[in-house]
Amino acid sequence: MPASKLDQLCVNTIRTLSMDAVQKANSGHPGMPMGMADVAYVLWTKFLKQNPKNPKWDDRDRFILSAGHGSMLLYSLLYLTGYDLGLDEIKNFRQMGSKTPGHPEYGMTPGVETTTGPLGQGFGTGVGMAMAEKFLSAKFNREGHTIVDHYTYAIVSDGDLMEGISHESASMAGHMGLGKMIYLYDSNRISIEGSTDLTYTEDVKKRFEAYNWHVLEIDGHDHDQIAKAIKESQDETEKPSIVICRTHIGFGSPNKQDSESSHGSPLGEEEIKLTKEAYNWPSDETFHIPEEALEVFRKEVVKGEKAEKEWEKAFSKYEESYSEDADLFKAWTNRKITSELVRNLPVFPEDEKGMASRAASGKVINAIKDVVPNLIGGSADLGGSTKTDIDGYGSYIVDSATGRTIHYGVREHGMGAAVNGMALHGGVVPYGATFFVFTDYMRPAIRLAALMKVPSLFVLTHDSIGLGEDGPTHQPVEHLASLRAMPNTTVIRPGDANETSYAWKAALNNAEGPTLLVLTRQNLPTLPRSENNNAGLVEKGAYIYADSKNSTPDAILIGTGSELHLAVLAQEMLAGKGIDARVVSMPSWELFEKQDEDYRSAVFPESVTNRVAIEAGSTFGWERYVGDEGTVIGINSFGESAPYEELFAHFGITSEAIVEAASE
């Protein structure tokens, strides 16, 4: 059924704002906002639970524009419904310093729930948001008292569904039965190169039915069908839903509708004029907003404030009946990490045989699980190897929605995006684990976490040639250098079990971006500790583990991870040769760079140029700490398949090599 005159006026307001902004910027994607304006209008004004005056309200629905290239659709909706985004920002689309960048960016624009643009990322992130909602509702809701009850909506595109991450994430969501997740698929059959018949002819309906999704097909320009489909999807509580919306890209453009020419370029002044005439719109005006339309959209402010007040009343009643749970809910949603954390960190006794840092990490997880009760996570089918299961609380979904060990399956990319989604949703402290080499599969999700400064936590084991016989396919060589190069990312490679304890503390207290805990497969000696070299200094990124006898050392030996104990042995060997060396443990470049200049200079005196860094990975980047006269012992080739002891000797990563370098 066609929309009413007023509804059509509102929809065309979205379309013309999008067209005009893209044209003024001389850059952007007008076709998708024009095609999905009907669907978005019905969702935002008839179903979406939101409060434009408080975009962070805990029980709001989450909306994701996974097809982030159509950002003007979202910006138009945010402005029209009364978010803190003025018309001047719409007119400043894609310009320096505006709140309307080319693709939606979390933290920059009020109401943007996640950064999107790299296709498929929004799809996967939404799965994590729905997972968090399901976990929290199962944890906190009581009969007659519902305080967590919201949906995760997303608009996804052909491109999103082509990307590999969508397959991983869709499979995961269907298996988990995430019934509060509703995706609206813009099936306009056009991509950049032309008709999707060129590359994409699968039966999407059958594909998602096979994933255990609830699937509907509608005319994406029929408001009654749109509303009915969303309502039916809300009523489906056991499965995620996808609504296949048949739409026309560039809707209403006389010469560019249903053409790739409307996808990624402005329509052009003449075509915009013709399109506005087709809409019965003032053709010579730009950014024209009819008062009747704005009045409809701005009702969302009143509706939103009312909805939040009703929730606050419900929460007050909940608080009266379940005061401890209410306090816990507030602590969780504010990401409050209790001071009890430090007292519960395990302390490992000195031990020459020691343990792998992955094993130490597993002990830390289970030592802190009750003082960080919203810690939830798991691995990409590697729980036994990464040591990341949370004992005693069951498996998420498999046992119950309050299970705390997540089984992601062999889906590293989907896992990374889901961890981001849970972190963005709030209320939980999520982590995901895999072998370090497989960050290759999840790098786009890590990068988005860094771009958004979201505290996603990744536990990455089997960190070097130390994994041994599995060989170069599984031995990360360039990964440390690569991930250290990523802005806003904290990489921590602890040198023994006690450093691993404090690496977890640093990760849990880092709210400014993702933290990567890089851990060994092989055992490491648990090193002796004193007040001066206590493992808590990990949080400074680098510290003097064993100092020289003289105030100014003859050499500085810098070790990370499994190579720290080699530097300690080398110090003893150098002493026998009359060389007085300092050993610096440097688990994290990023944490070290946050320290003041006095501290950094105390660890690395400028006068000491004889420096040797040792790390079982690429030497790239270490020159910043060893200088022009120093030496880096590492690996600048791929590894080999052999027992790890043989590999370290083969590649010259030994105490003897350190001694030789420091003696030159």
Task: Give CA–CA dist 229/231, Å, rounded.
Answer: 5
Task: Give CA–CA dist 507/494, Å, rounded.
Answer: 12
Asked if residues 131 and 160 have their Cβ atoms less than 8 Å apart, the reply is no
Q: How far from 513 is each of 487, 537, 593, CA to CA, in Å?
A: 9, 20, 15
3-state class of 185 per DSSP? Answer: strand
Q: Where are the alpha helices (DSSP H) in 322-368?
A: 323-333, 340-344, 357-368
Which amino acid belongs to residue 639? G
Q: Are strands 152-157 and 62-65 parallel, antiparallel or unpaired?
A: parallel
Among 391, 429, 383, 386, which residue's Cα sits nearest to residue 408?
A: 383
Task: Give CA–CA dist 133/601, Å, rounded.
Answer: 47
- Per-residue tokens: 154: 């997303």
Torsion angle of C-alpha atoms 604, 607, 610, 616, degrees rounded to 10: 20
Task: Give CA–CA dist 150/147, Å, rounded.
Answer: 9
Task: Give me the residues paired with residue 543 across strands.
Answer: 585
3-state class of 128 per DSSP? Answer: helix
* Candidates 412, 539, 563, 590; catalytic one: 412
Please work out, in degrees rounded to the nearest 5, the angle formed at the alpha carbon of residue 45 by the alpha carbons of 44 and 49. 65
Element (H, E) at 662: helix 655-663
Q: How many CB atoms lie within 10 A of CB 287?
A: 14
Among 386, 655, 355, which residue's Cα sits nearest to residue 524?
A: 355
Q: How many CB atoms lie within 10 A of CB 501?
A: 25
How far, rounded to the nearest angstrom, does the alpha carbon of residue 251 sit from its chain's CA centroid? 34
Q: Where are the alpha helices (DSSP H) in 428-558?
A: 439-452, 479-484, 497-508
Asked if residues 380 and 412 have their Cβ atoms less than 8 Å apart, the reply is yes
Asked if residues 287 and 91 have their Cβ atoms less than 8 Å apart, the reply is yes
- Measured in degrees and rounded to the nearest 5, phi and psi for residue 367 equal -80, -30
- Per-residue tokens: 331: 């602590």
Q: How far from 468 is each of 480, 615, 641, CA to CA, in Å?
A: 18, 16, 6
Task: Give CA–CA dist 589/483, Å, rounded.
Answer: 11
3-state class of 184 per DSSP? Answer: strand
412 carries an active-site annotation: yes
With tokens 């069908």, the residue in question is 225
Task: Give CA–CA dist 526/357, Å, rounded.
Answer: 10
Q: Are strands 611-614 and 631-633 parallel, antiparallel or unpaired?
A: parallel
Q: How far from 115 is each of 67, 92, 296, 393, CA to CA, in Å?
A: 11, 19, 28, 32
Which amino acid belongs to residue 609? T
Task: Give me the residues paired with residue 241 across strands.
Answer: 182, 214
With tokens 């005159």, the residue in question is 5
Q: Are strands 543-546 and 581-585 parallel, antiparallel or unpaired?
A: antiparallel
Residues involved in catalysis: 412
